Amino acid sequence: MDDDDKKLYVGSEIGKLRRVLLHRPGLELSRLTIDNKDELLFDDILWVEEAQKEHDAFADLLRDNGVEVVYFRNCLAHILKEDEIRKNLLEEALALEALDHQLKDALAHAFYDMPPADLSEVLIAGLTALEAKELVGNIKSLCLLTSERTDFLIKPLPNILFQRDPFSFVKDGVIISVMRFEARRKEPLYAKYIFNHHPYFSGLKIIYGEETANVHPYFIEGGDILVLSDEVVAIGISQRTTAGAIQVVGRKLAKELGIKKLLAVDIPKMRVYMHLDTVFTMVDRNCFVIYPGIRGSVRLWEIAYEEDGSVVDITESTDLVGTMKRNLMLDTIAFVETGGGDPIAAAREQWNDGTNTFAIAPGVVVTYRRNATTNQELRAHGIKVYEIKGAELGRGRGGPRCMSMPLLRN
């Protein structure tokens, strides 16, 4: 298949972006309160209407640069048109909510005739006890009888804004994540149904996340996965991704996609770092952004594979520069330090996703405007920077890379 005919292929972090998957903020973010934000993995409450404006501007910027924008919500609504798919997805999704049979069956029945777009909204935004009663009436459900009006019987998914995490496209395959926290467990489930049943994703290879063994505690999240080249992938050992899962995924990447090297990068297991892409991203063929707080303490393991997925060698290193040069066949390499290397500026801008740059072409990135020092450093290294507002979006602790999942680069 010629490159022009491909609809799904990601062979690098920096190739010209052609298609991307996004999720526009919606009702699910309006569900956040001061009481539930921690459980739902947010540090603050967003002004949703402003976040939507910021996100729309982000999507428009991508379109202006020749990128086709695909929305997750629309993909979910599309597959819910099919009765059998709807039935099976609802059965799995409702099973994750620990509802009694009376309520589960009543909701499934009510959802069966709901328009696909409306059902997609419920599955993403959640359902309160009051909303459930309006749908099913007074039934003999202990879950319903013991719930307060505002209790969520179907929990909302505000983190679905960050499309980088529930899955990761690598070449013509996808890794479906096993999420570390309960609040995000349904996101990969919906993705699995979309990738298996939406015609847009026909022919996609599911590399991980579909087998019965790909579950807790083998956690892996897309924010920890960087596709450095057609043959080299880096994965962070982080708060959200375990070493054991990396070893399982590495074998599959080698056997099914021809990946020859996997770089397992150990980072501190803290929320402030969260994923590899919050401390390290690629912005050009030989240029990376790095949070200076981890630069001198990085440990990584270079894992080489045979074509059948067997491990040839595992070598530990603390030389990030040398490892990158060797594996990407580079003579020189440049590191742009978050905050220009100043400890205070670096800490502030890393927390505001200054390191979470999103390359849309070699040497062309999208960043949050608020990270002025890092953006200045990027430009000083010859990188073209498109800035977007992120005063509200950034409250979710995710930058432009977190919000986007490339589907096609060339």
Give tens-digit pLDDT for 370-386. Answer: 999 999 999 999 999 99
> Residues 45-51: contacts with CB within 8 Å, 24+ apart?
45/395, 46/392, 46/393, 46/395, 46/396, 47/392, 48/392, 50/391, 50/392, 51/25, 51/392, 51/393
Average pLDDT of the residues in 324-348: 93
Residue-level pLDDT at 211: 81
Q: How confident is the model at residue 5 (pLDDT cuts 50, 70, 90)?
A: low
pLDDT tens string 174-192: 999 999 999 999 999 999 9
Q: pTM (2 decimals)?
A: 0.94
Task: Based on the residue annotation, tell me whether 402 is a catalytic residue of this protein.
Answer: yes
Note if the bond before 217 is cis, omega within 30 degrees.
yes
Average pLDDT of the residues in 136-145: 93
Among candidate residues 75, 143, 287, 402, the one labeled active-site is: 402
pLDDT tens string 45-93: 999 999 999 999 999 999 999 999 999 999 999 999 999 999 999 999 9
Question: Would the pLDDT of 4 be above 60?
Answer: no
For tokens 């897309």, the residue is 222
Question: Would the pLDDT of 3 be above 60?
Answer: no
Average pLDDT, the chain: 94
Residue-level pLDDT at 287: 97
Q: Are 220 and 245 in contact (CB under 8 A)?
A: yes
Question: Would the pLDDT of 162 be above 70?
Answer: yes
CB atoms within 10 A of CB 138: 8
Instruction: Give percent of the chain above pLDDT 70.
Output: 99
pLDDT tens string 67-76: 999 999 999 9
Residue-level pLDDT at 220: 96
Question: Would the pLDDT of 266 be above 90?
Answer: yes
Residue-level pLDDT at 221: 96
Which of 297-301, 305-309, 347-351 holds the top average pLDDT? 305-309
Instruction: Go through the domains of the chain in sequence order and give each one's CATH number.
Output: 3-72+159-409 (3.75.10.10), 75-158 (1.10.3930)
Q: How confident is the model at residue 1 (pLDDT cuts 50, 70, 90)?
A: very low
Q: Are 390 and 353 in contact (CB under 8 A)?
A: yes
Q: How confident is the model at residue 298 (pLDDT cuts 50, 70, 90)?
A: confident
